[in-house]
Structure 1
């Protein structure tokens, strides 16, 4: 066996049907695990390409250039201190003999042992070369390591054919192939011994067949087994057939992300895909299309077709079958027969629900528990209503519309349709509200309440929706936090991080729509919103510390969100002040611009120094007394502050944070001179207090936009 014997290597594990949503990841992890281990053992030649394969019934990987044996490896084994390993006459002590045997070096010539010092004593070191690992041994290690590390969603236990050996794996395995070009590599896995026998499609290929050479794997499976073994190739084949059929029928697959995820899923369900077209009775189109789409995609794995012009659902759908046949009539008819009862159920639920007005369903919310420590859904609705009215009134919106939207927001939880399709909460409520004659603003609020974030400026028609969106998330954060269920580590069962991100986006889009001004703190502030949410739970139910923790939690989310886009120190400088939420991004941009000024570093360092000095002050510094200035540098700094303060105030009043910060650059000379010429902590207590008062005034001027001491290096 030679290290120059370089040939392709194919490994395939044949199993029962693997979990479709995990298949792609399993295939990639299987190949990567093998690659990493083989590479670590020196078995992969340079420029070795790795091709992962995955179908519903197999995981495989093809390596283009693999050595039959790894090259010789040099080694250096640090054994033990020389005085312990060698006797006075230079012979090996029993301890050294035992060590050498354990290292497989029992026959080594003691004269070849090197002596190396670690600075304290000499050690015996064995150096030499050892044969590289053989492929059979290296592949066995790689196979064991790769299978052990697979990201298996749920492990199964099953018995082997011997009747007593239990194996743990994602699904029962029935075949193992390992070929180094044409030679079988004698490895084992999951009770299986490697061979060259392949199995094809469950129905289209009824016989097993042998793989002659590793490089023929994909082609042989396609020709003999009716299996497209590469996941991406199979996916591209399905997508092309879907587009062809959709175009033939004058339809579209739609553009929502669910199309891509469904395409991934069906790719993991078939080995020899063929797309057929089916249809259902057009009367079902009277049902909200989201219900029909969901049942076809989620339950049947069909691709609904839409009208390209209007985007509305049509009565046709596409089926990705695992069978190719000249006469697909039975396949198409069978699928149409299966989907029809599901659509009929949706029709029945819709027609039955429509007999009861949405508003009259609220009484049933009293028997639906929101949380055993926070009461029923009806109690929650009342809290959200109060909060929505407050937010709408504060922003100058329509409090009656906001109240109505909040009143109806959870009414669809008791409908048959939501009971069958819980993913459509809000969407179904919007349909029923439309049928009940509710205003467009209320309908929009119901439809959009479960969005993850607001991503467009809030206009007047969308204010009610934005208010409900804010109210729900504020009530959730304060309520869940108050019962000790704050997120910890990876755990966030109530989605509080997502709720916080939603609130951040709402304030951003309210500002973008002109409801909140950069020059103003309000009219709606985060603190007021959270306080009002707490009031909804009753006096004394929510501890003041909860509101502080929730506010800090939200600002931490803002910090994390902006830190990926802006200088971290600039973000920290702004967040340290916890300014109005809708101003944070603008302030950060202003600080980033300030950082580019040549005066920034000096002023930031001075600001940090001032902060440290003020911590030593006894009590709060008052206003400085100009008559107590002793040094010219004091008077110069006071004059600079007097000049710059109104300029900065005017910039802040206009919402121009960048200009407010740039005015500070004019103070650098006076600040530098002050610290060069003036002893702040003078012996005279009155002089010292007056200088601290002047610095406190300068400190307030410098930190109106951000705590610029956070910018100091």
Structure 2
């Protein structure tokens, strides 16, 4: 059947910029999926999505004007229900056929097929394929219904009576199959071949699209609009790089993917212009200036070759006037008050020390069940002192305590009040201003790290200690009052806090016991019960397991290592490497299976301690196993204590033959109680030796 390319476009008012890419992908994706499900598009069809501030569109290649007819076989009912004793149709069968558009004449053509234990009647018919008009109508309505709209608008149609709900008021609809308009309707609009161009710079308006394949080119030529989100984004990237190169000195625009996406969603015809501000504003911490330019104005600050902020910034304009000086001047005037505000806040904040603000935290509610920020700070300080003593003695404990005391003081500054994203960052600047020293200043900023996946870890031991204390206090407190994450809801970012703890303990290879840390944190909260520590530990190990699987370890390997709940997380990577090396040995499957069997036997045994009396060893196989265990276990244990987990597991591989022989020739559950307990003790000794690095039974198939 002949096919042609299809173009569908909805032209609307300005769409929400932060959602535009998602809206464009969803609109095109659902439309394509629906066309394929109706067999109007096939495996040879390709999808191109378009999204600009005022349009959502999809181009689909090789779309049929009508889908092929299909032979359909439908089960009706059991023969015993559909036919009477004489073989005539029952009323139930006739009614069923009628519902399918058939009559009694179809009875003779019904097929009898065994369906389970009884025969059933099947009706075979040809179902006419969907037409493009009907199929596209259904696909478009489904696409609109399934758009991930942040907030729906209700607006009136031109008749003044009807209203519709959509993300923004829609003005026109294009549906072109080749050059032919497909007669469909949506949102009170009938499909045509015209759309709107750029609000100010379109060569003609409306823009007429002659056929599906000329859509993008026509819109750019006549409408001054780059319809493709990706093409527009790529052009902005090129223009930003070109503008920075013209400034010289190794200047480069700040990298921010989210800002780039948002700006791409704000302009239809990007034009990057270079602006500047007074150098006196560079006295303000560059994070403040960068944030106000990006968040409030959607500008791209320019950094020099060393990464320091310059007094130049780039604007992505939506117009291309012959003389851009007015646009440049307007943006420079707009940014100046913003920068002046930042400078004012910075100057005012430095008039008070961080320490003088600490008392005010006692008046700031942290959580209605957990008290004030002041009370919280005291809990964090207690944890920081304890962790500091373990990691570096009294000197580190004092540093961490001081950092924890001042860590939240910048919450009461004007700058953080205006820009909450700068908490910690401003604390560092104000600590340096107060003469508190680099170590304390860095720790104040770093106690929030890592803020997100892939973020850097704290720079110093003081920062690590303060960060661990802060995150542990947060987790323990919220678990103590039952504020656990559920499903995809995690309003207090507890998963992020847990991952931060995992990363610091693992990547810094800290000599700290996870269970002890959690126990100390939970003990600070009278609201906690006996289950709180266990729940919190499970939560942290779950985050660790997910992280390890993302790193490429198998679920079996992760399960084997984490089943033992290793307390030093810095050891986990070495344990996993050892398990992987052990699993590659030829002895591994048999030993893993034997270990699983031993574990099951010991679970069922009421009394089994790791003790063996040699006088009660009767069978040659159990004597051999005991002798081999006595020989191998000390060597494996020594290797384990030395941290050579791979060698430890490989040493244990020598047990395979004697373990197999034991199970082949020895009855563990002997009639005589003393023999049985001795054999269970032998298995318990073996089990202890084999499962120090990981629970090897988890490797059994």
Q: Same fold (TM over 0.5)?
A: yes
The whole-number CA distance in structure 2 between the counterparts of 1:596 and 1:90 is 66
Tell me the secondary structure at the aligned position of residue 56 of structure 2: strand
CA deviation after TM superposition for structure 1 residue 147, in Å: 0.9
Alignment match, 1:691 = 679
Q: Does 1:632 align with 2:630?
A: no
Q: Does 1:649 align with 2:637?
A: yes
Residue deviations 1:550-599 (CA, integer Å, cap 9, x gap): 11211121122223422322221211111122212211211111111111
Q: Does 1:681 align with 2:674?
A: no
Residue deviations 1:70-102 (CA, integer Å, cap 9, x gap): 122222233344555557787755544443332
Q: 1:251 to 1:227 in 2, by over 3 A?
A: farther
Return 235-244 or 153-162, whichever deviates more: 153-162
Q: Aligned ranges for residues 210-289 of structure 1 at < 5 Å?
A: 210-250=208-248, 259-289=256-286
Q: 1:674 to 1:113 in 2, by over 3 A?
A: closer
Alignment match, 1:349 = 345
- Is this contact kept in 1: 2:449–2:457, CA < 8 A? no
Q: 1:586 to 1:278 in 2, by over 3 A?
A: same
Alignment match, 1:194 = 191
Picking from 312, 323, 331, the partner of 1:335 is 331
Alignment match, 2:386 = 390
- Is this contact kept in 2: 1:457–1:510, CA < 8 A? no
Residue deviations 1:379-433 (CA, integer Å, cap 9, x gap): 1111111111111111125211111111110010000000011001100000111
Q: 1:87 to 1:383 in 2, by over 3 A?
A: closer
Tell me the secondary structure at the aligned position of residue 544 of structure 1: coil
CA deviation after TM superposition for structure 1 residue 619, in Å: 3.1
- Is this contact kept in 2: 1:457–1:509, CA < 8 A? no
Picking from 557, 579, 600, the partner of 2:566 is 579
List structure 1 runs of 4+ shifted beyond 6 angstroms: 87-91, 453-459
Alignment match, 1:702 = 690
Q: Does 1:129 align with 2:126?
A: yes
Q: 1:87 to 1:675 in 2, by over 3 A?
A: closer
Q: 1:605 to 1:45 in 2, by over 3 A?
A: closer
Alignment match, 1:567 = 554
- Is this contact kept in 1: 2:154–2:165, CA < 8 A? yes
Tell me the secondary structure at the aligned position of residue 194 of structure 1: strand
CA deviation after TM superposition for structure 1 residue 375, in Å: 0.8
Picking from 490, 493, 497, the partner of 1:492 is 490
The whole-number CA distance in structure 2 between the counterparts of 1:608 and 1:506 is 34
Alignment match, 1:79 = 76
Alignment match, 1:18 = 15
Return 115-124 or 290-299, whichever deviates more: 115-124
The whole-number CA distance in structure 1 between the counterparts of 2:41 and 2:537 is 54
Return 606-615 or 336-345, whichever deviates more: 606-615
The whole-number CA distance in structure 2 between the counterparts of 1:156 and 1:35 is 25
Alignment match, 2:29 = 32
Tell me the secondary structure at the aligned position of residue 531 of structure 1: helix
Q: Aligned ranges for residues 295-306 of structure 1 at < 5 Å?
A: 295-306=292-303
CA deviation after TM superposition for structure 1 residue 121, in Å: 4.5
Q: Does 1:373 align with 2:369?
A: yes
Q: 1:72 to 1:363 in 2, by over 3 A?
A: same
Q: 1:119 to 1:314 in 2, by over 3 A?
A: closer
Q: Aligned ranges for residues 410-559 of structure 1 at < 5 Å?
A: 410-452=408-450, 462-511=460-509, 515-516=510-511, 524-537=512-525, 540-559=526-545
- Is this contact kept in 2: 1:567–1:592, CA < 8 A? no
Residue deviations 1:670-698 (CA, integer Å, cap 9, x gap): 22222222221111111211221122111
Task: Give the gaps of 5 or more residues in structure 2.
Answer: none
CA deviation after TM superposition for structure 1 residue 46, in Å: 5.4
- Is this contact kept in 2: 1:253–1:259, CA < 8 A? no
- Is this contact kept in 2: 1:455–1:509, CA < 8 A? no
Q: 1:402 to 1:88 in 2, by over 3 A?
A: closer
Return 70-79 or 51-60, whichever deviates more: 70-79
Return 55-64 or 113-122, whichever deviates more: 113-122
Return 629-638 or 332-341, whichever deviates more: 629-638
The whole-number CA distance in structure 2 between the counterparts of 1:305 and 1:185 is 49
Return 162-171 or 276-285, whichever deviates more: 162-171
- Is this contact kept in 2: 1:251–1:305, CA < 8 A? no
- Is this contact kept in 2: 1:251–1:306, CA < 8 A? no
Q: 1:13 to 1:611 in 2, by over 3 A?
A: same
Alignment match, 2:648 = 660
Aligned length: 695
Residue deviations 1:42-62 (CA, integer Å, cap 9, x gap): 212552222111111010111
Tell me the secondary structure at the aligned position of residue 396 of structure 1: helix
The whole-number CA distance in structure 1 between the counterparts of 2:7 and 2:454 is 48
- Is this contact kept in 2: 1:196–1:210, CA < 8 A? yes
Q: 1:137 to 1:449 in 2, by over 3 A?
A: same
- Is this contact kept in 2: 1:252–1:305, CA < 8 A? no
Return 445-454 or 681-690, whichever deviates more: 445-454
What RMSD over aligned residues (CA atoms) do the two structures have, in Å?
2.2
The whole-number CA distance in structure 1 between the counterparts of 2:700 and 2:113 is 48
Q: 1:251 to 1:57 in 2, by over 3 A?
A: farther
Alignment match, 1:42 = 39
Q: 1:242 to 1:653 in 2, by over 3 A?
A: same
Q: 1:359 to 1:682 in 2, by over 3 A?
A: same
The whole-number CA distance in structure 1 between the counterparts of 2:46 and 2:634 is 68
The whole-number CA distance in structure 1 between the counterparts of 2:250 and 2:186 is 46
